[in-house]
A = this chain, B = another copy of it.
Amino acid sequence: MSSVNLTPTSYLVLGLVAGLGSATPYEMKQMVAASLGYFWSFPHSQLYAESDRLVEAGLLEVDQEEGGRRRKRYSVTADGKRALEAWLSDPAAEGAETRDPGLLKLFFGGLTDPAHVEALALAQIEHHRQHLALYEAIEAAIKDSPDLRFPYLTLRLGITTTRANLEFWEELAANPPR
């Protein structure tokens, strides 16, 4: 218990388990792959590690299956619920990081042939178009599910920023730097 400090990943796991009632890391993996994973991805091994950390911190409890595969099924403790609620009710959400290699390449565009920047722009356009198509397909599918209201909003945010990126790169491709 205690003195484990909570990262965004911690709350991600806590939130997933809370939303599902109880879950095995594998089930969490599925959930992530179908939703958050589009914006916030990480290897599944982290779900195993993080779940155990949260048990240590007293925020999750584990119930191991007898026989068969002896899966570990996690659920949220009272302390865990409190921690999650405290986090959710705090409007502060600083520390957003955009780690976009395309941004880096653009920043250093002056160090190389401008044609490479143009090629970069075209690749980015293609990339964002595909994502956008995917997101819009998902959007259409979940639009009217009342219990997916917040995932839907999250997706809307993803769509909004993807569109903004797309527009930026399209304009850059239309007016290539030289």
- A93 contact set on B, CB distance < 8 A: 100-102, 104-105, 120, 123-124, 127
B-binding segment of A47-55, A56-64, A158-166: A158-166
**When the two chains form their complex, are residues A154 and B91 in contact, meaning their CB atoms are under 8 A apart?**
no
- Chain A interface mostly helix, strand, loop or mixed? helix
Mark contacts of A110-133 with chain B using CB atoms, 8 A cut-off: 1 yes-contact digit, 0 otherwise.
111100110110111001000000
B-binding segment of A22-30, A65-73, A134-142, A145-153: A145-153
Q: A18-B111, A157-B165 are in contact. List 16 more A-B contacts (CB 8 A).
A: A35-B107, A39-B97, A39-B98, A39-B100, A40-B99, A85-B112, A88-B111, A93-B105, A95-B101, A96-B100, A96-B101, A97-B97, A106-B153, A107-B154, A109-B149, A160-B165
A85 to B98, CA, bound (A): 23
**When the two chains form their complex, are residues A168 and B150 in contact, meaning their CB atoms are under 8 A apart?**
no
**When the two chains form their complex, are residues A157 and B168 in contact, meaning their CB atoms are under 8 A apart?**
yes
- A95 contact set on B, CB distance < 8 A: 99, 101
**When the two chains form their complex, are residues A119 and B98 in contact, meaning their CB atoms are under 8 A apart?**
no
- A109 contact set on B, CB distance < 8 A: 88, 149-150, 153
**When the two chains form their complex, are residues A101 and B36 in contact, meaning their CB atoms are under 8 A apart?**
no
**When the two chains form their complex, are residues B150 and A160 in contact, meaning their CB atoms are under 8 A apart?**
no
**When the two chains form their complex, are residues B151 and A168 in contact, meaning their CB atoms are under 8 A apart?**
no
- Distance in angstroms from A124 CB to nearest chain B CB is 7
A-B contact list, 17 entries, CB within 8 Å: A8-B99, A11-B108, A15-B108, A19-B110, A19-B111, A88-B108, A93-B102, A94-B127, A96-B101, A97-B97, A97-B100, A98-B161, A99-B99, A108-B150, A153-B172, A157-B168, A160-B168
